[in-house]
């Protein structure tokens, strides 16, 4: 299986009356870092507050009537959960979502409000995903994987289609990455339409599974994760996203917790945009590593569903201390079949 431009274009047709064509906003504050234009692709303003509705809807819409009647199951720290819940509701499909213990309360409540049943399990998205797979096997539900499926990747890739249409002269596209579904889809679209543009994936230093996986040429699971960016705290990338990242993404970069906090504050104070830490990872890269970026630069703000308590702590403790104050440590247990 793979994903090509035609798949993403077909996904865009499915999404015509479902999603918002999110705006791009010029950031002069970030532009000063790179000596040229930096544009923000505002997926934080998408339905459900993140890009996830794109892939979730495409995946569920392509199920058979019988599969939809049997229901779907998903695993998520919050954004994929909301995307699946809304998409399932729009398509009259029952949905169960497994979330890690301690998932942000606003994301949990929004998932329920969209109509899904929420169940808690484990400490990480990987734990929740294992539970969702077991549930699917036991109940005949269809697993809507958060990133490792061609329909999901094609849906997320529609962000890249829009971006190139909105900014045809873009030279660098910066995208946050967890399991790799968003950045792989965006990279396929961007490289097909503007092959000279550079695509950069950004991960939190404390949850960077891509570098080791790329070196090993297969998904490698992290032993532990430590980051405030719960939306990209994924301990192991998907096999198909990894294959596409190796083929189409030019660089993988990591950013510090302090940089994530500063990026979040810049989006709030200068751009007047509420962005969660995972959604601000690309902005953190611009602020921390501007020398690798050739303008015009486009940064995907992947989500805006931040826990108000987390936002209050970032504001209270300021730019330099916020990352250290807010980091948490999660141990990922060994699992049968995991690659080390």
Q: Does a cis peptide bond (omega within 30 degrees of 0) precede residue 64?
A: no
Return the residue matching tokens 């606003």: 106
Instruction: Look up 27 and say whether it is catalytic.
Output: no
Label the pairing between strands 117-120 and 95-99.
Answer: parallel
Of the candidates 76, 141, 184, 302, the residue annotated as catalytic is: 302
Angle between helix axes 181-193 and 150-166 (nearest 10 degrees) is: 50
The pairing of strands 72-75 and 38-42 is unpaired
Which of 27, 50, 52, 141 is an active site residue?
A: 52
Query: Is residue 52 annotated as a catalytic residue, yes or no?
Result: yes
What residue spans of 78-180 are helical by DSSP H?
A: 79-90, 105-113, 125-139, 150-166
Element (H, E) at 30: helix 28-34
Q: Quote the CA–CA distance of 308 and 314 in Å, as a whole number.
A: 10
Q: Which residues are known catalytic residues?
A: 52, 302
């Amino acid at each position: 299986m793979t994903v090509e431009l035609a798949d993403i274009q077909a996904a865009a047709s499915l999404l015509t009356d479902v999603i918002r064509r999110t705006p791009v906003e010029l950031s002069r504050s970030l532009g000063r870092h790179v000596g040229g234009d930096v544009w923000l692709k505002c997926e934080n303003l998408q339905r459900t507050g993140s890009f996830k509705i794109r892939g979730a809807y495409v995946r569920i819409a392509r199920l058979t009537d019988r599969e939809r009647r049997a229901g779907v199951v998903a695993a998520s720290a919050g954004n994929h959960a909301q995307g699946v819940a809304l998409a399932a509701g729009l398509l009259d499909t029952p949905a169960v979502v497994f979330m890690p213990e301690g998932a942000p309360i606003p994301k949990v409540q929004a998932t329920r409000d969209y109509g899904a049943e929420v169940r808690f399990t484990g400490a990480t998205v990987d734990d929740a995903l294992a539970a969702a797979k077991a549930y699917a096997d036991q109940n005949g539900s269809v697993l809507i994987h958060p990133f490792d499926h061609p329909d999901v990747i094609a849906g997320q890739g529609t962000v890249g289609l829009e971006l190139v249409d909105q900014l045809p002269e873009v030279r660098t596209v910066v995208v946050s990455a967890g399991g790799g579904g968003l950045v792989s889809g965006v990279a396929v679209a961007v490289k097909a339409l503007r092959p000279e543009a550079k695509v950069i994936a950004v991960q939190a230093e404390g949850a960077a599974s891509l570098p080791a996986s790329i070196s090993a040429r297969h998904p490698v699971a992290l032993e532990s994760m430590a980051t405030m960016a719960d939306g990209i705290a994924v301990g192991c990338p998907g096999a198909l996203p990894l294959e596409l990242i190796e083929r189409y993404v030019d660089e993988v970069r990591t950013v510090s917790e302090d940089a994530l906090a500063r990026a979040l504050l810049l989006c709030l104070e200068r751009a007047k945009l509420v962005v969660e830490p995972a959604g601000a990872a690309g902005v953190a890269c611009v602020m921390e590593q501007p020398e690798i970026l050739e303008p015009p630069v486009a940064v995907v703000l992947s989500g805006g569903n931040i826990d108000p308590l987390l936002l209050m702590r970032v504001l209270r403790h300021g730019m330099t201390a916020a990352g250290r104050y807010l980091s948490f440590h999660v141990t990922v247990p060994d699992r049968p079949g995991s690659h080390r």
